[in-house]
Structure 1
Amino acid sequence: MPKKAFVALVTCFNEDETINYEATRAQVRRQVEAGNNIMCAGTNGDFSALTFEEKVRLTEEVADEVAGRVQIIVNAGMPATFETLKLAREFDRIGVDGIAVITPFFIACTQDGLIRHFSTVADAVQTPVYLYDIPARTQNHIEPETARRLAAHGNIAGIKDSGGAKDTLEAYLAVAKDMDGFDVYSGPDHLVLWALENGAAGCISGLGNAMPHVLAGILNAFNAGDIGEAERQQAIFAAFRTDLYALGFAPAMVKRALYLQDASVGASRQPALLPDLDQDARIAAILRRYDLL
């Protein structure tokens, strides 16, 4: 099967911090035209700053804009299983290709608690569920053996690994190798090609918001068997990541880099970092270096 790239789509905001759905739709079109699939309401989509009702409408708007042209995964994860389940049922009703469930945050979970959390959601919906591990943000980590146990559930289809540790990614890939129907999607942008070469089904990238064609270029070249070109595109992607992320919190830097390319995306909701003119100038210099501005 061809490998797939998903972009963890930003959510666009107006100056009064309401969601700008039309601008968000424009970002969907930009990614679809580049050849990327969509993940919405994830970390780069400011999901923790959105209300329940906004997440539902956002998913409806994205699904309507995509109109079946690419695949959509939407994140339903919240600290409590109760609200996660309510969101997952709404996304199931709307009709998406996958429901991601980020590990609960603020609430410290045992591995048994994580198994119960994910299994409860997967039991309740028809849409395939994807585990979403990002321990640096949630302080809860899906151990590889826990992923193996969850992979045996008939409606848990894979995992997004945003931990950034190659050994953990390798352990998840070993689970995928042993368990049919369980796919691994890599989150770290510097490991896209490495993950593809080692059995990942694809990647889910935040950086692709600002550099969609290079992300698509890695996947297209790999799927075509042109590893030299895939390596060239990955080198560009990794260098851009290094330069941009050196300036601050990665999702904030991605959003600001995109803002400087298209101001309609807006800023993020408070208490996210306010725009900084000096930082904007440094981001703009990076964008010009990569012919993005």
Structure 2
Amino acid sequence: MTKSAYVALVTCFNEDETINFEATRAQVRRQIAAGNNILCAGTNGDFTALTFEEKVRLTEEVVDEVGGQVKVIVNAGMPATFETLKLAREFDRIGVDGIAVITPFFIACTQEGLIRHFTTVADAVKTPIYLYDIPARTQNHIEPETARILADHGNIAGIKDSGGSQETLAAYMAVGREVEGFDVYSGPDHLVLWSMENGAAGCISGLGNVLPDVLAGIVNAYNSGDLDEARRCQEIYTNFRTDLYALGFPPALVKRSLYLMDNSVGASRQPALLPNREQDGKILDILKKYGRA
């Protein structure tokens, strides 16, 4: 099975915090050039700060820019099934390769509630649905047993695991081995190669915004059978992740790193990370260490 990489694309903003669609399109082209697929409106795309209408237009712009050159998955997940369903139907209309549904946040869910939530969305659209588990941010976790139940749904095509636990990821991959057509994508940047070696379909990575070539290098080398090169690229990726994420909230630091490389991406919407001269200096030192500044 050929493995694939998706980058959880940043959403670019103007100084007044409106979306800069042209700058976002430029980031899409950058990922296409590296050979990476796109996840739109995810955690690294400031999805919680975007309005319903903005998510719809953002997806239209990204799909138009991609023009079928790579695959596009878009995140429709919201706290309520009602709004998640409305977004999923819009993305179904636009035409994407997959719709990710992050677990509801703020609302505490039982596993039964999660099954109802994901099933309702999957029943309503033709586009394949991908479960999206990131319990540290949502406080809701898809248990492997729940993933196994949902994997039997004809329109649930897989899961993105951003929990960071190898044990949970391994359990999801066991479901993938048991249920044909249920693909597992790793979210933690340090587990890209390990996950592919153990049965994952690939990865969905935020750090790929900053190091698109290194991410593509891991996957391409693995697919070609050059494990030494895959390990070399993974080591760079892991070390960069360790250095950068030691400074704070990963999505904000990814966005700020990219800003220091190309200020057209803008800052995140408030109350996210504000420019800080001391912190920017530390980020620049990391970028220079890895030949990015």
Please state which band the TM-score falls in when normalised by the shorter chain.
Answer: over 0.9
Q: CA deviation at 1:273?
A: 1.8
Partner of 1:254: 254
Partner of 1:134: 134
Distance in 1, matches of 2:166 and 2:220, equals 23
Partner of 2:275: 275
Matches within 5 A, 1:86-165: 86-165=86-165
User: Which secondary structure state, in structure 1, belongs to the residue aligned with residue 264 of structure 2?
Assistant: helix
2:219 is equivalent to residue 219 of structure 1? yes
2:28 is equivalent to residue 28 of structure 1? yes
What is the identity, as a one-letter code, of the residue corresponding to 2:248? Answer: G
What is the identity, as a one-letter code, of the residue corresponding to 1:177? Answer: R
CA offset digits 1:103-150 (Å, max 9, x no partner) = 000000000000000000000000000000000000000000000000
Distance in 2, matches of 1:46 and 1:57, equals 14
Partner of 1:236: 236
What is the identity, as a one-letter code, of the residue corresponding to 2:63? Answer: A
User: Which secondary structure state, in structure 1, belongs to the residue aligned with residue 6 of structure 2?
Assistant: strand
Distance in 1, matches of 2:274 and 2:157, equals 38
What is the identity, as a one-letter code, of the residue corresponding to 1:98? Answer: G
Distance in 1, matches of 2:76 and 2:218, equals 28
Bigger mean CA offset, 271-280 vs 86-95? 271-280
Unaligned runs of 5+ in 1: none
Distance in 2, matches of 1:252 and 1:41, equals 14
Distance in 1, matches of 2:150 and 2:53, equals 29
Q: State the TM-score, normalizing by the size of structure 2.
A: 1.00
Partner of 1:64: 64
**Cα RMSD, aligned residues only:** 0.3
Distance in 2, matches of 1:76 and 1:224, equals 34
Distance in 2, matches of 1:52 and 1:220, equals 36
User: Which secondary structure state, in structure 2, belongs to the residue aligned with residue 185 of structure 1?
Assistant: strand
User: Which secondary structure state, in structure 2, belongs to the residue aligned with residue 39 of structure 1?
Assistant: strand
User: Which secondary structure state, in structure 1, belongs to the residue aligned with residue 5 of structure 2?
Assistant: strand
What is the identity, as a one-letter code, of the residue corresponding to 1:37? Answer: N
Distance in 2, matches of 1:151 and 1:220, equals 28
Distance in 2, matches of 1:276 and 1:192, equals 31
2:54 is equivalent to residue 54 of structure 1? yes
Distance in 2, matches of 1:119 and 1:275, equals 41
Distance in 2, matches of 1:273 and 1:27, equals 20
Unaligned runs of 5+ in 2: none
Distance in 2, matches of 1:135 and 1:152, equals 23
User: Which secondary structure state, in structure 1, belongs to the residue aligned with residue 131 of structure 2?
Assistant: strand
Distance in 2, matches of 1:276 and 1:35, equals 33
Distance in 2, matches of 1:269 and 1:40, equals 17
Distance in 1, matches of 2:15 and 2:107, equals 32
Distance in 2, matches of 1:258 and 1:66, equals 20
Distance in 1, matches of 2:37 and 2:241, equals 20
What is the identity, as a one-letter code, of the residue corresponding to 1:162? Answer: S
What is the identity, as a one-letter code, of the residue corresponding to 1:5? Answer: A
Partner of 1:245: 245
Q: CA deviation at 1:31?
A: 0.3
What is the identity, as a one-letter code, of the residue corresponding to 2:229? Answer: E
Q: CA deviation at 1:2?
A: 1.0
What is the identity, as a one-letter code, of the residue corresponding to 2:162? Answer: S
What is the identity, as a one-letter code, of the residue corresponding to 1:54? Answer: E
Distance in 2, matches of 1:152 and 1:275, equals 46
User: Which secondary structure state, in structure 1, belongs to the residue aligned with residue 74 of structure 2?
Assistant: strand
What is the identity, as a one-letter code, of the residue corresponding to 1:245? Answer: Y
Q: CA deviation at 1:282?
A: 0.5
Q: State the TM-score, normalizing by the size of structure 1.
A: 1.00
Q: CA deviation at 1:190?
A: 0.2
Moved over 4 A (4+): none
Partner of 2:40: 40
